Structure formats: C-alpha cells, structure tokens
Amino acid sequence: MSDQENILDFILKDEDNVTEKQKKIIAAAIEAFSEKGFAATSTSEIAKKAGVAEGTIFRHYKTKKDLLLKLLSPMVSKLIAPIVLKDFNKVLDAEHHSFEEFLRAVVKNRMEFLQKNDALFKILIQEIPFHQDLREIFIDQIASKVFKRLNEIMDFYKEKGEILDIPSMSAVRLAITSIFGYFIARHLILPDIHWDDEAEIERTIQFILAGLAPKS
Amino acid sequence: MSDQENILDFILKDEDNVTEKQKKIIAAAIEAFSEKGFAATSTSEIAKKAGVAEGTIFRHYKTKKDLLLKLLSPMVSKLIAPIVLKDFNKVLDAEHHSFEEFLRAVVKNRMEFLQKNDALFKILIQEIPFHQDLREIFIDQIASKVFKRLNEIMDFYKEKGEILDIPSMSAVRLAITSIFGYFIARHLILPDIHWDDEAEIERTIQFILAGLAPKS
Amino acid sequence: MSDQENILDFILKDEDNVTEKQKKIIAAAIEAFSEKGFAATSTSEIAKKAGVAEGTIFRHYKTKKDLLLKLLSPMVSKLIAPIVLKDFNKVLDAEHHSFEEFLRAVVKNRMEFLQKNDALFKILIQEIPFHQDLREIFIDQIASKVFKRLNEIMDFYKEKGEILDIPSMSAVRLAITSIFGYFIARHLILPDIHWDDEAEIERTIQFILAGLAPKS
Amino acid sequence: MSDQENILDFILKDEDNVTEKQKKIIAAAIEAFSEKGFAATSTSEIAKKAGVAEGTIFRHYKTKKDLLLKLLSPMVSKLIAPIVLKDFNKVLDAEHHSFEEFLRAVVKNRMEFLQKNDALFKILIQEIPFHQDLREIFIDQIASKVFKRLNEIMDFYKEKGEILDIPSMSAVRLAITSIFGYFIARHLILPDIHWDDEAEIERTIQFILAGLAPKS
DNA sequence: CATGAATGAGCATTCATTCAT
DNA sequence: CATGAATGAATGCTCATTCAT
C-alpha cells in the first residue's frame, strides 16, 4: 500500500528518453493548471514556468489537452492503486483485522497520498466534469477495479456483522464521499479558513464507523 | 423555507429595467458556463446562445467576470437563504421536532433546491477555487450566517441528548459534506452512471443520523 | 479687434434652438479632444463628461467627425477674424501706425485669443494633418482672406521703408511661424517646463522686428 | 555631423536577431502612423501593410504603444545626435567659423535629416502632446544635452559680439522655433500648397541672423 | 428633445499550434 | 531534441451609430 515513488516519475515512466525538460514541463503544468485551471492556463505560461521554449511542449505532447490527460491518467491509477494491489487481499485473510482497522488504514493512506499530490487531485476534480474522455478513464478504472474490490471487502465485514446491512455499493459510496467531501471542502471550497486536519479526519472516521455500524 | 420564486428572476431582481435580452443572456450564460466552464466559454458563444449581439452582453455586465459574479452571488444567498430566515428558529421552539425531523426537512428542501438549480450550483463549485473574491463572498455568508445558526441548532439537539457530544462545528461540517459530497459525486464526477437518487438520499440521511447519534 | 464674446457661444450661434445639453456637449468635446486627441476620444466619454445620453450627441451632430468640424470651423474663422474685419484697414490709413505698433497689436491680440482658447487651438493643430477637408477650410480662409490682407499691409510698410524688401508672403510666413512656433513649443511639445511668457513674447516681437528690419 | 546610416537600421540596431519581418513592421508602422495618426491606425492595418500576420507584431512589440516608443526613441536621439557629438565642439575652436557659417551648417544638416525622415518626425510631433512618457524622454534628452551645448555655443558667439546680448536660452529657442516652425507649417499644417523650400530656408536663415544680430 | 438599449464591425491582444533552423 | 519566429483564428471588449420609446 505504499506510494514511495514520486508521482512525477510515475507520470513520466511510460515515456522513453525522458529529458530534464520534460520533467520541468510536467511540474510547471501541474502547478499552473491547479492554480488557474486548465482552460485559463496558456501553453506559453507553462513554457515560461518550465523554462523551455513554447515549441518544446508540443514536441512531447501533441496538444494541450494531451498534456492534461498525460498528467491525469497516472493520477487516476495512482489514486486507486493500493486498493487494486494484490496484497490488498490480505486484509480479508487476516481475521484479526477489524473494519475499523481497515478503514483507518485506508483513510490514512489515501489522505497522505492526497496531501502529497493535492495539486494533481485538484486538477482531476476540476476537469473531470468537462472532459467526457477523462470521465471514461475514471469510471473505467473505478468501476472495474475499485468498486468490485471494495464491495467484496464490504461484504466480508457485513457477513462478520461489523457493519450495517445495506448494499455494499451504498456503503462504499457513503464512506468515500465523506472522505473526499472533506478534502474538497478543505482544499477547494474553503482553503482560506483554518482546519484542524488531524481532528477532523479522526472525527470523519468515527462518523463513518458510527454511520455504518450495525443497529444494535 | 420555500423557494417558490424562480432563481432567474431573483438574479435579475436587483437590477431595474430588466429587459428580455438580459434574461436571455443570464439563461445562456448559466447554460454555457455549466457545460463548458467559465474560462472555456466565450462571450460570443453566450451571445449566440442568447440570440443577442455580443455588445449587448457588455452593456449589462462590464466584464465576463462581472457576469459570473452577478450569477453566483444570488446563488450563494439563495443556497443559504432558508437557514437564515427568521422562521427557521421555530424549529427550536417546537418541542416535538426531533433532530431526525429537522435533518429530513433541511435535506429535502436543499436537495430540491440543488436539483432545480443544478447548473448554477455546478458553476459555483467549479469556479470557487479560482476566484478569491467569490470565495470571500461565500465565506462571508456562510461564516456569519449559516454556521452561527446551525451551531445553535446543533447545540440545542446536543443538550436534548439527541446527537453526539462533539463540537457543533464538526457535526455541521460532517452533515454538510455528506450531503454536498453526494451531490458533487452524482452530478459532477460521475454524472454518466445510474443513481437511485431517492434511495441514496434516504441512506445518506440514515448515515448522518447514525453517524451523529450519541453513543449508547 | 476684440473677442469679447465667448467662443463657445460663437460655435453655437449658427445653430437654432441651442439647448443647455448642446453647450455641455461642446464643452466636453473640447476638453476631451484636447486632452486625448480626436481619434482616442470616444463618444461615450464625451457623453459622460457632458452628462448627457450617448444618443443626444448624435441628435445634434450627425457623426463624431461632424462634431469635430462644428468645433473647429468657428475656431478657424475666429482665429483669423480680426485680420479680416473691415476696420482692420484703418491700420493702413493711420499714418502714425508704425510696423512695430502694428505687430505688437496683432501679436498681443492673437496671443490673448490663443491663451483663452488653447484647447481648441491644440485640437486644430493636432487634427489638421489628418483631415483633408479641415485643411481645405483652413487654406481657403487663410489664402483668400488673411494672406491677401496681410500682404497688402506688408506692402504698405515695405513701401514706407519700415521693413525688409523681401516677398510679402515670406515676411508674413516668417512672422507667423515665429509666433505660432512659440505657441506650439510652449503648449504642445514642452508644456511641462517653465516658460516666462511675457518675456518670451516680447523677445519674439523684437526678434521679428529685427529679422524683418531693412538692412541699414 | 553625418547621418549616413539609415534610421530604420538604427531603430532596429538595439535589438538582436532582427528578422526581415521586423523591418517590414517598422516600415509599415512609420508609414501608417504618419498618414493616419497613432490612435487612428489599427494593428491589423500595419500587419496588412507589412505583409505579416497580426500576431507577428505582438511577438516583437508587446503593445501598440510599445511599437510607437520603439520607433520614436531612436528618432529623438537621432534628431539631436549631431549636436551632441564630440566633434561638434570643433565649431568653437575654429576661429574662422562665423555664427552665420555655424547656423547654416546646422540648419542644412538638420533640414536634410528632417526631409529624409519626415514621416517619423511627423509622428513625433503629433504624438508628443498625448504621451507623458514620450515627453519625458524628449525633455530629458533635449534639456540635458542639447540646450547645454547650444547655450555654450551661443555664449561663445555672444562674447565674440556676433549675436545679440539676450539670454542664450531665448536665442536658442527663437532659432529653433523658426526652423521647426517652418517645417511644421510646411509639412503638417499646409502640405497642400506650394513651397519654394530652398528660398524659404535661405530666408529663414537670413531672418534668424538678422533677428539675432547685435544692435549696431 | 432626449434617452439608453441594441447593434455588429472593429479593436488590441492572446492563443494553441506549426515548422524551418 | 530544442528552439522561437510565425501564424491566423479567436478572445474579451469598445466603438460609432441607430432607433423605439
């Protein structure tokens, strides 16, 4: 479940002969897109920020949109990576893992990931509503991999009587929107006000636990 | 707690001598901004959609940004309006109002409002991260009016022992992100997949109720 | 040789039913044109400055260019008016009038006029190079009236041996460019530096006198 | 005191990698600005005249105003260049140089320059009244360099008894306005009528000489 | 007579993209 | 592989002018 490797390297790893300039372009694009939005960022701005010529961007990325997708596709897979990993199944084997332990582990892990890659996540959230193709990539990954896996896990805990007997799909949805809803409120909608992250995350976990606890 | 009047009229009601063209511009702008985003929508596009000359837009709205703010400011106040209304306090007087009844009433009311004004809400959510001034309007209204009022109500139910003894602020936050998180997931991130709105909303209410229920 | 009446009234006197608004438009146009130039001044700016609606300007002046011409035509005739006046001939009759007296009288009179109407004169000088029709009006008035008259006068003084025996035309030209050259340098090219008007004008007169004095 | 080199090259010489297109833009801008005035000339007009795309103008000159200043700054320095040159002082050493010889040399030289660069000079004169920054450049160069030098020279001739004992500053002003006054009248105000340039310039020199001659 | 909403051509400027070097 | 000059369509906005009220 680790994300040791830098996402920037990950973004670039599919491409061969990655030059220093390319890294700078990616870094500059992430910064610019997250600050001003994709549509409001010009390629010349990115070029300047990256310290490369305008043409250099288009040597590596056919269009501005291509640059966006090249950034976000890895973000999507990284975002859901740990849940998809094979060893994630161990959770189910290990009898001693309670739902609470599981939830804590996942939340902690994904929160850290989001905090480390907040710019990229912001771009993803911002652009998803406007790009059908992006949404398709996203749904594809989520639907086929994440939900299936999480549903299994939820079923597992439901059977064990640790969580409420509602459709796993709904349980997953409620948990996820609680977590991401926090992130969106905190980083996108109200970034200017003070947040006690640790306390809020702990309360969110408690909230999910109680919300999904079986009726006594 | 009603929103009978159309928000389009509400947007225009501060201005005098509202012409037919103005209404068309507002309607076209809402449609265009919500479909393509503010930055990716051109004023000529809005003009065409509204069936007016491009210059006409700028006669009524000094800049494109001004048009955005003129759209969203009323949206913000409408969004929080029922919570701010005087008769909202009656909730507290009425002994027979349980927290559940209160929550249901609010959720139902605000959900209906969002569903009726989903385009405007989408614009608001999309643009808030990129416009400091918009965020200031939002924070100002939320902080000064909504949170204060909701905190009082939460305190009331906390005293009555109907909800968990956590900071009212956090309780409010958890409830709100659950509700809006649902809306964002459903309309912005994954609008293409099927959602059973009624069931999901009911489960969200149950989830909040359980999540905030006092520990037995 | 007096210009008692206000040039603003003079500009308007050809038109009938002159309204208060019209006066304001003229005054606003003079101010705006002289500050920013004709091409760089918008009609809406003039309307705002005059406190009238945009349409009102076009009720009185068919086009922006028309407004300019309606301003400048009277300026041209006023500028040359005293020289054209019938009683200007008295100069010639009055034996006791020396060339110096004559020059002093004309310079003093025209300088005062320019100082009182510097904005209009500035507009005239600025726009003449770009408007053929304006130049035609100007040449027409100058050529047919002023030069003819001044040539007569110069001839008169030449015969009296008070000035140099060069073509009257050239003598007139030299005197006029000295005077207007001073005005242009002082008001248009270098308005920001300090000028001792009285001393400079006196020296200019002396300069012209000496420059045109017959060789002893 | 020579201006052999083309001013167009001089305008461009500060910039490196001057392309053919840039030269065309400059030439087109000079032509267009002098014909219609800065404000009344559109960048698309310049582009068309230069045979380049409109965007090309803005690659080399940030704004239209920038283009104007890039044109006029060299004009200002070129205009005053010979007077600033070191070998200009030789005038003072050469005992045999009379004031008349000096005046003739300067007038001839500057007249030729103006005639060769009449378009640029016209632009300078036209735009100076409307651009504070342009005026500052002008004053700066004139005040610090030209007037100082010319005053010295005037003092020199005053001491030699060749010219009138009036403030050198005024003497300089009278001579300059006579010369430029001629140019403005001839090229800007009355370009349509016939002028015998050679004769007028000779008379202007005689006029200045007589006007500044010491009283016998 | 005066208004100001409406127009659509035109404006200066920016854009993503191409391509010769 | 990288450059940056060049492009021309598109952008947000202003313009002079018209006309119904």
* Model confidence pLDDT, tens digit, residues C159-190: 999 999 999 888 999 999 999 889 998 999 88
Distance A53 CA to F1 C1' (A): 12
Name the percent of chain B lying above pLDDT 90: 50
* pLDDT above 50 (res B141): yes
CB-side neighbour CA atoms (13 Å) of B163: 28
Number of structural domains found in chain A: 1
* pLDDT above 80 (res C1): no
Q: How confident is the model at residue B37 (pLDDT cuts 50, 70, 90)?
A: very high
- Which residues in chain A have Cβ-Cβ distances shorter than 8 Å to B39? 37, 39-40
User: What is the pLDDT at residue A146?
Assistant: 86
Across B75-84, B88-97, D89-98, the highest mean pLDDT is recorded for B75-84
For D77-112, the pLDDT digits (tens) are: 888 888 877 666 666 666 557 899 989 988 888 888
Q: Is C192 helix (H, G, I), strand (E, B) or coil?
A: coil
Q: Determine contact, residues D210/C210, Cβ cutoff 8 Å.
A: yes
* pLDDT above 60 (res D5): no
* pLDDT above 90 (res A91): no
Q: How confident is the model at residue B5 (pLDDT cuts 50, 70, 90)?
A: low
Residue in this structure with the two tokens 């309307």, named with its chain if needed: C47
For A18-41, the pLDDT digits (tens) are: 778 888 999 999 999 999 999 999
Parent domain of B125 = 7-212
* pLDDT above 60 (res A200): yes
Alpha helices in C117-166 (DSSP H): 118-127, 132-141, 148-159
Domain at A27, CATH number: 1.10.357.10
Q: How confident is the model at residue A82 (pLDDT cuts 50, 70, 90)?
A: confident
Q: How confident is the model at residue B13 (pLDDT cuts 50, 70, 90)?
A: low
Nucleotide nearest to B53 (CA to C1'): E7
A16 vs B: CB within 8 A: no
Mean residue pLDDT of chain B comes to 87
CA atoms of C170 and C154, how far apart (whole Å): 10
Please compute the mean of the pLDDT values over residues B7-15 and round it to a whole number: 67
In a domain, A2, yes or no: no
Mean residue pLDDT of chain C comes to 87
Q: How confident is the model at residue B17 (pLDDT cuts 50, 70, 90)?
A: low
* pLDDT above 50 (res A2): no
User: What is the pLDDT at residue A120?
Assistant: 94
For the packed helices D168-183 and C197-212, what is the interaxial angle rounded to 10 degrees? 70
Please compute the mean of the pLDDT values over residues C178-206 and round it to a whole number: 90
User: What is the pLDDT at residue D95?
Assistant: 59
User: What is the pLDDT at residue A213?
Assistant: 93
Q: Determine contact, residues A6/A23, Cβ cutoff 8 Å.
A: no
Distances (CA, A) of C155 to C20, C96, C150, C158, C170: 47, 16, 8, 5, 12
CB pairs under 8 A between A and B: 121
Distances (CA, A) of C49 to C29, C31, C32, C172, D129: 8, 9, 8, 40, 21
CA atoms of D197 and D121, how far apart (whole Å): 17
CA atoms of C142 and C182, how far apart (whole Å): 20
User: What is the pLDDT at residue A5?
Assistant: 55
Mean residue pLDDT of chain A comes to 87
Q: How confident is the model at residue B152 (pLDDT cuts 50, 70, 90)?
A: confident
| Lowest-confidence region among A61-70, A205-214, C144-153, C186-195 | C144-153
Gyration radius (Cα) of chain B, Å: 19
* pLDDT above 70 (res B114): yes
Distance B4 CA to E3 C1' (A): 36
| Lowest-confidence region among A91-95, A143-147, C62-66, D39-43 | A91-95
In a domain, D2, yes or no: no
Q: How confident is the model at residue B3 (pLDDT cuts 50, 70, 90)?
A: very low
- Which residues in chain C have Cβ-Cβ distances shorter than 8 Å to D214? none
Please compute the mean of the pLDDT values over residues A2-19 and round it to a whole number: 65
User: What is the pLDDT at residue C61?
Assistant: 93
Altogether, the residues listed in chain D come to a count of 216
CA C102, C103, C104, C108 dihedral sign is positive
Distance C58 CA to E5 C1' (A): 15
Taking CB atoms and an 8 Å limit, are A184 and B181 in contact across chains? yes
User: What is the pLDDT at residue D193?
Assistant: 87
In a domain, B2, yes or no: no
Shortest Cα distance, chain B CAs vs residue A17, angstroms? 34
In a domain, B1, yes or no: no
Please compute the mean of the pLDDT values over residues A40-69 and round it to a whole number: 95
User: What is the pLDDT at residue A16?
Assistant: 60
What tokens does D179 get?
């010369």
All chains having 3 or more CB pairs closer than 8 angstroms to chain D: C
Taking CB atoms and an 8 Å limit, are B174 and A39 in contact across chains? no
Distances (CA, A) of C74 to C108, C137, D40: 21, 11, 24
CA atoms of D15 and D60, how far apart (whole Å): 10
3-class secondary structure per residue, A12-71: HCCCCCCCHHHHHHHHHHHHHHHHHCCCCCCHHHHHHHHCCCHHHHHHHCCCHHHHHHHH
AA identity, residue B149: R
Please compute the mean of the pLDDT values over residues A175-196 and round it to a whole number: 90
Q: Determine contact, residues D102/D43, Cβ cutoff 8 Å.
A: no
Nucleic acid strand E: bases within 7 A of protein CB: 1-20
The torsion angles phi and psi of C157, rounded to 5 degrees, stand at -75, -30
Q: Determine contact, residues A150/A168, Cβ cutoff 8 Å.
A: yes
User: What is the pLDDT at residue B94?
Assistant: 64
User: What is the pLDDT at residue D19?
Assistant: 76
* pLDDT above 80 (res C10): no
In a domain, D163, yes or no: yes
* pLDDT above 50 (res D2): no
D139 vs C: CB within 8 A: yes
Distances (CA, A) of B80 to A158, A186, B31, B106, B171: 38, 19, 22, 11, 18
Residues 55-94 of C with CB under 7 A from strand F: 55, 57-59, 62-65
User: What is the pLDDT at residue A77?
Assistant: 86
| Lowest-confidence region among A204-213, B88-97, C164-173, D145-154 | B88-97
In a domain, B136, yes or no: yes
Please compute the mean of the pLDDT values over residues C48-65 and round it to a whole number: 94
Cβ-based neighbours of C178, under 8 Å, separated by 6 or more? C204, C207, C208, C211, D174, D177, D178, D181
Q: Which of C36, C139, C190 sits opposite D130 (nearest CB)?
A: C36
Mean residue pLDDT of chain D comes to 87
